Amino acid sequence: MQLFYAPDIEPPFYTLNEEESRHCVRVLRLGEGDRLHLTDGRGTLYTARVVDPDARRCRVEVVESCPEFGRRSYALHMAVAPTKNIERFEWFLEKATEVGCDSFIPIDCRHSERRIIKPEREVRVITSAVKQSLKAYHPVLEPMTPVRELIERPFVGVKLIAHCQPPLGKRKLIREYLRPGDEALVLIGPEGDFSQEEIERAVRNGFCEITLGESRLRTETAALAAVMAVAFINQ
């Protein structure tokens, strides 16, 4: 199945942008009458047929729609400090999108080595992963957010923080806090970890301390481990 991202689609007709048109006509060699799939990134999967195979403005007609395609039974929001090597952070965005995530929140922490990202570039990474993994839901990329602001932001689900410092209370596995179907927000710090003040603030604001195992993990590895743990809990 070939999947195209069409966030502004309004059936029955839709014109692919130039990049997608070129991929459709020149790379995939789809012609008039051939079928392809599109998603609006909000859960609807569309089946369409090519009506005008123009390599710059390929026009298609929607013939079938499937709402809530591949909808997950849970919601997951990952707040992660971008790594100094941005490719490591992008690797996480790609893999977490493939597994399943609702939003990514880059966080600015006291020990952060990267405080600026290029949202357009990161969204392209996410979009590519959506199409590659045949997802109908496109994760949201929020702006870079100070961790203190995020910690104090209201959130109705389960709030978790992973860190390597001595725990303030009982540190448990994710499965001991999370039930299938829960909505979760997970905080993963920078290479230098969260500061003690950030950890204390998080715990005061209802975040539960979690462990991701005995190994010391890189930021992007810890973040993906959390995504995988939540996915397994919801299998």
Read off the pLDDT band of 124 (50, 70, 90). Answer: very high
How deeply is 231 buried, as exposed, middle or buried, from its count of CB atoms within 10 A (0-12, 13-18, 19+)?
middle
Average pLDDT for 67-82: 97
Q: pLDDT tens digits, residue range 94-109?
A: 999 999 999 999 999 9
Average pLDDT for 217-232: 97
Task: List, by residue range, all CATH 3.40.1280.10 domains of the chain.
Answer: 75-233
Q: What integer pLDDT is reported at residue 2 of this predicted model? A: 87
User: How many residues in total does the chain contain?
Assistant: 235
| Cα–Cα distance for residue pair 11/161, rounded to 1 Å | 42
Q: pLDDT tens digits, residue range 16-66?
A: 999 999 999 999 999 999 999 999 999 999 999 999 999 999 999 999 999
| Cα–Cα distance for residue pair 52/57, rounded to 1 Å | 8
**Predicted TM-score (pTM) of this structure:** 0.95
Q: pLDDT tens digits, residue range 151-185?
A: 999 999 999 999 999 999 889 999 999 999 999 99
| Choices 1.10.3720.10, 2.120.10.30, 3.30.950.10, 2.40.240.20: CATH for 3-66 | 2.40.240.20
SS3 94: helix
Q: Which fold has domain 75-233?
A: Alpha/beta knot (3.40.1280)
Q: pLDDT tens digits, residue range 179-210?
A: 999 999 999 999 999 999 999 999 999 999 99
Neighbour tally for 65: CB within 10 Å: 16
Give the residue from 23, 22, 20 showing the smallest Cα distance to 9: 20
The runs of H, that is alpha helices, within the chain are: 18-22, 86-99, 119-132, 147-151, 196-204, 219-233
Q: What integer pLDDT is reported at residue 207 of this predicted model? A: 98
| Cα–Cα distance for residue pair 91/97, rounded to 1 Å | 10
Q: What integer pLDDT is reported at residue 168 of this predicted model? A: 93
| Cα–Cα distance for residue pair 127/44, rounded to 1 Å | 15
Q: Which residues pair with 42 in a beta bridge?
A: 137
Read off the pLDDT band of 214 (50, 70, 90). Answer: confident
Percent of the chain with pLDDT over 90: 97
